[in-house]
Amino acid sequence: MFEPKITETVQNIVKEYIKDGDSVIDATVGNGFDTVFLAESVGENGTVYGFDIQSIAINLTKEKLNENKLNERVVLIEDSHEYVNKYVNDNIKVAMFNLGYLPKGDKNVITKPDSTIKAIEKILDLLESGGLISIIAYYGHKGGMEEKDSVSKFLRELDSNKYDIISIKYENRVKNAPIIYLVRKK
């Protein structure tokens, strides 16, 4: 479970929740690595809904999907994840978020607390019982700490009769180490 890259650690956790034919969401497609992982995980009969506000992220992800012959399983949406309910009507088994900015991209284009919270709220409504949302909060950039704190506060206030929420963080890294949040719907 504990991998060198935090994204691989999360993928190892998430894959236990996905079976062939499931519908899932990549709320922040970024460079497309999680989108490809999700497309492989849902099989030929599943669907991945991938969101990003940046054209470059959508295009990078399309390239990766084409290289892996997975594009038919994925619906890429160039829009904010806060509008997930405009595009997704399916019950969702898993949703993945990587908060922050596009690696190697414009560090001024970041995920924001309000849109992220709205997206999480809407995805919780779509999430199947036993489903999982993973959130990796990268917060070593301007605006990142505010988003991490907002997400953490929002998750702490969710009804414990409906959701189990855990966080995983590095204890021995001094500076802004990413935090994993996992939300399981009961």
Q: Which fold has domain 6-185?
A: Rossmann fold (3.40.50)
pLDDT of 1 strictly over 70 = no
Block residue for tokens 């506000």: 53
pTM over 0.85: yes
Give the pLDDT confidence of 11-50 residue by residue, as tens digits. 999 999 999 999 999 999 999 999 999 999 999 999 999 9
- Give the burial string for 96-117 (b: 16+ CB within 10 Å, else e): bbbbbbbeeeeeeebbebebbb
